[in-house]
Amino acid sequence: MFVRVRSFMSIRVRSCLLLGTITAPNTLDGWKDCVHRQFWIVFVAVKGLTIDGPGRFDGQGSTWWRIKAIHFNGCPGLRLKGTTHINSPFLHISIKECQDVDIGNLQIKAPGNSPNTDGIDISDSSHVNIHDSNIQTGDDCVAINGGVVDINVTNVWCGPGHGISIGSLGENGGHDTVEQVLVQNCNITGTSNGLRIKTVPNGTGYAKGIRFQDINLVNVQNPIIIDQYYCTHSGNVVCPPQSSTKAVQVSDVTYTNIYGSSASKFGIVFNCSEIYKCTNIVVNNVHITGDADLDTGGEDLAYCKNVQGEFVDTTPSVSCY
């Protein structure tokens, strides 16, 4: 479905319009015209677009976990408010090359075991606010990719899923940049990751000026993690060697007032490159407890390698080498 609309057109998805729900095909035959496309619904070069709920988009993803649901490309001044998004066949909402974006009061839901069903993906965009939303998926609740500046994620409830992620950055030897990211007042529950920065060896660029603050984490497998050796290890993917001479640089990252519990023995993992250490990493007033059933006796551990930073009032205690 390609939607052609004028600039500053508002679309109101209500029970009296579109019967309250835009529904994707529920058979593979119904998707046959989309096989060579990446998205179900696409908005391109629409200035001042507003989509205002209530109302919902049902991707019926269990039929075919493949097509991405809604894509906004080059839509400055985008406003997406009050809608519900369920069962995308792939990621639910994609934001690319957009500026001055406000996304709020959304409900996004897919089964916890559904593949690649990210809630909101952002790339090559600036001045994006995501707030007051509930995201339950089988992948990242929010994925912040390369080419972004000034992203705020506030009052988001996340889980199940893979948490709030920056990256993957530097895939296939690419150059990616991320700066000025604020994640605050969020609740993350039952996810595989909590607050994650992931970069792929042999890429270039940087991730800097990132703040995580006032976060509650409950039963999260990897509550806080920076991984500069990330690789999917799936299909025919060949992972770059960890001895690669290039890396996406990670610097100026702050974690403040973060509390919660880990579902594994590690509460904090900083796995940084020998070539480009993670620098100016500040952890202050962070307290994460472990699973009492693990062999740590309920005391979480921290892993920290190739990091320069400051660690104050932190549980588990962080010691880097």
Last residue of a domain, one of 88, 121, 154: 121
* pLDDT score, position 267: 96
Q: For the domain that residue 94 is a member of, what is the CATH number? A: 2.160.20.10
Within this chain, do residues 164 and 286 fall inside the same structural domain, yes or no? yes
d(CA 150, CA 160): 26
150 and 24 share one domain: no
**Residue 10 vs residues 6, 52, 107: alpha-carbon distances, Å:** 9, 8, 20
Same domain, 217 and 282: yes
pLDDT digit string, tens, across residues 211-245: 999 999 999 999 999 999 998 755 555 677 766 78
**Could you tell me which residues are beta bridge partners of residue 154?**
131, 184
Residue 120 exposure: Cα atoms within 13 Å on the Cβ side: 29
- Give whole-number Cα distances, 116 to 12, 16, 60, 65, 139, in Å: 28, 32, 14, 8, 5
pTM, two decimal places: 0.90
Question: Pick from 84, 98, 100, 91: which is nearest to 121 by CA?
Answer: 91
Do the beta carbons of residue 102 and residue 79 sit within 8 Å? yes
Structure tokens at 32: 């046959």
The answer to whether position 290 is within a domain reads: yes
Q: What confidence score (pLDDT) does residue 18 get?
A: 36
Question: Residue 13 contacts by C-beta under 8 Å, 6 or more apart in sequence?
Answer: 20, 22, 51, 52, 53, 54, 55, 56, 57, 83
> In this structure, are 112 and 187 located in the same domain?
no
Of 121, 151, 167, which residue constitutes the final position of a domain?
Answer: 121
Q: Is residue 42 part of a domain?
A: yes
Q: Residue 106 corresponds to which tokens in the numbers above?
A: 């959304």
Please list the rounded mean pLDDT of every run of 10 residues in the chain (321 residues): 48 42 67 62 88 84 66 94 86 96 96 89 99 97 98 98 97 96 99 98 96 98 96 65 82 98 95 94 96 63 96 94 82
- How far is residue 155's CA from residue 310's CA, in Å, rounded to a whole number? 27
Angstrom distance (rounded) from CA 204 to CA 214: 30
pLDDT of residue 211: 99
Rounded to 5 degrees, φ, ψ at 297 are 70, 30
**CA distance readout (Å), 203 to 147, 167, 234, 237:** 14, 12, 19, 15
Could you tell me the two tokens for 299? 């005391």
Pair 111, 211 in one domain:
no
- Please check whether residue 130 lies inside any domain of the structure: no
Q: Is 157 a domain residue?
A: yes
Tell me if residue 162 is catalytic: yes
Q: Which residue of the set 36, 131, 162, 175 is catalytic?
A: 162
CB neighbours of 310 closer than 8 A, spacing ≥ 6?
Answer: 281, 282, 283, 284
- b/e for 207-228, b at 16 or more Cβ within 10 A? bbbbbbbebbbbbbbbbbbbbb
Instruction: Assess whether 111 and 146 both reside in one domain.
Output: no
Together in a domain, 104 and 229: no
Position 95: which residue type?
Answer: I
Angstrom CA distances, 70 to 33, 202, 208, 254, stand at 16, 31, 29, 32
**In-domain check, residue 134:** no
* 128 inside domain: no
Domain check: are 107 and 214 in the same one? no
**pLDDT value of residue 287:** 97
Domain count across the chain: 2
First to last CA, the chain: 53
Residue 257 and residue 318 in one domain? yes
What is residue 22's three-state secondary structure?
Answer: strand
> Which residue, among 78, 62, 52, has the nearest Cα to 27 in the 3D structure?
62
Give residue 9's pLDDT. Answer: 44
148 with 262, same domain?
A: yes
Adjacent-strand bridge partners of 187: 157, 216
Q: Which domain holds residue 148?
A: 140-321
**Does 67 reside within a domain?**
yes
Same domain, 100 and 186: no
CA dihedral 272, 273, 279, 282 (to 10 degrees): 0
Among 91, 121, 151, identify where a domain stops.
121
Query: Would you state the structure tokens that stand for residue 283, as one six-digit string?
Result: 């952890």
The answer to the question of residue 108 being in a domain is yes
Whether residue 90 sits in one domain with residue 161: no
